[in-house]
Amino acid sequence: MRARTILRGAIGVAGFVLVMEALGRTGVIDPYTVPLASDVLAKTVVLAGDAAFLAKVGDTLSAAVIGLLLAIAIAVPAGVVLGTLPRVETAVRPLVEFLRPIPSVALIPLALFVFTGGAQAEIALIVFTSSWPLLINTWYGVRDVDPLAKETMRSFGFGPAAIVARVLLPSAAPFILTGVRIAASVTLIVAVSVELVAGGDSGIGTFLTDQGTAGVNRRDVMLAAVAWTGMIGLLVNVALVAAERRLFRRHHARTGQEAA
Amino acid sequence: MRLLRGLARLWVVPVALAAWEVLTRLAQAPYFPPPSTIAARSHELWFSGPAARLFLSDEAVRHLLPSLWRLVVGWAGACLAGVLVGIAVGRSRRLAEYVNPLIHFGRSIPPPTLLPIFLVLFGVGTPTQLAAIVFGVLWPVLLNSVDGARDVDRQYLETADVFRLSRGQRLWRIILPAAAPKVFAGLRLSVSLALVMMIISELVGSTEGIGYRMLQDALDIPAMWTAIVLIGVLGFVLNAAFVRAERWLLAWHYGARKST
């Protein structure tokens, strides 16, 4: 059963590659316009050992990780405050609803002015964008905590700090981790966007731009780099979904919710 | 009465605006003009045209309308494709097994990474923007449609068999309505993604549009802010309109939920 699923998936992928290759070889798609699938695959393998490319991947990933950690440090405490203090929540909610729909890419030119370095602007925008899903998820997670658990802690004489640490955060943890997963997928999008606009010489975005300039025009290398970016995105997502399942199996069993 | 109370809840918005005005006037930061300046510049730049043209200025006609046109066309095209393919994949387990790895790989690619490739393929201009928007929008719609079509209640399908509905009737009367809530969730997610892709594609490869106009204003910071505000308002309005439309179109669904 499981083996058959894997086999069919492999056939699907192989079929796609073969069809693309055949279209290129027979000239239906001009191999100059879109490189042959075999060329792209070969370049994908080559790129894995290309120090220059790996350094650029490192730039993007380190910006993404730093940005995500900062966002967690800011948004999770803010979410706890919003989820526990109804007065603050009613006051702040309209602001959040106005600010959240602003697409972060609209702030790229501003960020490039305000921050002198492209890398700083990149991290700042990653923080801005990934804070929203973290904030919302923490907020809703904390709000949904069983009031009885809070009351119990209180009647045993625990202070607010202990309640947050022992009840609110643990029971909101599955929601927060979902927020982290959503935020993680957004970080890569923002990081690459800033790199494309800002130029400079760091990150996957500038690698792609360089390979695409008129004198170079290595479309096979560009597609290979895109393939690696997709693999990274896929791996991060798979790892975080697995972490959610593993850490919070009890939670998913209780609520019957699927990790979508 | 409800309207009044709703408005009263928004007291924080004027307060925040006033605080923003005061702080920016005090700080005199070059990149953060006061909101009154932004409003004045907005009027001058975008809405000083003749009444017959809804007050849109030449600038607005040249930059806003192409952006909106591409946003709508790209979004609608990608949604149509995503729903069609999604329903097919969701209804056929076998097809799903073949294409699942490809779908998950495709959606893991951060859409902006493909922009440099679209640029070398299609050049600077509308086709690049449309391709970028379509690629960004496609995945959430596709994945949600797959989910919705796959999880149709068995009883509905068995009832359809009992009534001997034809395949077409089954699709129109059972599968599509049952999948609709999930499909709409995907469509709503995709609206904001379409906006993101519209802007980033205009920042990187365009000669017109809001995103392009933003970068032209290197020395006119208030003008850049008008674009940010405009895009923010656009995001807010599109999202709100979509939530409204969803509630109206899916009223039967929420009604059925309530009565059970």
pLDDT of residue A157: 85
Compute and round to an integer the Cα radius of gyration of chain B. 23
Give the closest-approach CA distance of A153 to chain B in angstroms: 32
Residues A92 and A23 in one domain: no
| Closest chain A residue to B193, measured at CA | A103
Residues of B in contact with A5 (CB under 8 A): 97
Residue B255's pLDDT is: 75
Please check whether residues A133 and A56 belong to one and the same domain: yes
Mean pLDDT of A80-109: 86
Average pLDDT over residues B110-132: 91
A54 and A20 fall within a common domain = no
Per the prediction, chain A carries an average pLDDT of 87
In chain B, domain spans = 1-32, 44-259
What pLDDT is recorded for position A251? 60
Question: Residue B3's pLDDT is what?
Answer: 67
pLDDT digits (tens, 9 = 90+) for B21-60: 999 888 888 888 888 888 888 888 888 878 777 778 888 8
Picking from B9, B97, B235, the nearest residue to A90 by CB comes out as B9
Task: Give B230-251 pLDDT, tens digit per residue.
Answer: 898 888 888 888 888 888 888 8
CA–CA min distance A183, chain B (Å): 13
Q: What is the mean pLDDT of residues A18-26?
A: 90
Distance CA B200, CA B118 (A): 13
Contact A94 B104 (CB under 8 A): no
Assigned domain for A160 exists: yes
- Which tens digit of pLDDT belongs to each residue from A124-147? 999 999 999 999 999 988 888 888
Please report the pLDDT score of residue A15 as a whole number: 92
Q: Is residue A58 located within the same domain as residue A140?
A: yes
Is B217's pLDDT higher than 70?
no
Rounded Cα distance between A165 and A201, Å, is: 43
pLDDT at residue A4, as a whole number: 87
pTM: 0.87
Domain B44-259 sits in CATH 3.30.1700.10: no
Q: Quickly count helices (H) and strands (E) in chain B.
A: 13, 0
Distance CA B231, CA B228 (A): 5
A260, part of any domain: no
Residue range of the domain that includes A24: 1-34
A85, A189, A74: which is closest to B135 by C-alpha?
A189
Contacts of A135 (CB under 8 A, 6+ apart): A75, A78, A79, A82, A96, A179
ipTM, 2 dp: 0.85
The pLDDT tens digits for A196-215 are 988 878 899 999 988 888 77
pLDDT at position A258: 40
pLDDT in tens, A167-183: 888 888 889 998 999 99
Whether residue A86 is found in the same domain as residue A148: yes
Residue among A18, A208, A235 with most chain B CBs within 10 A, to mutate:
A208
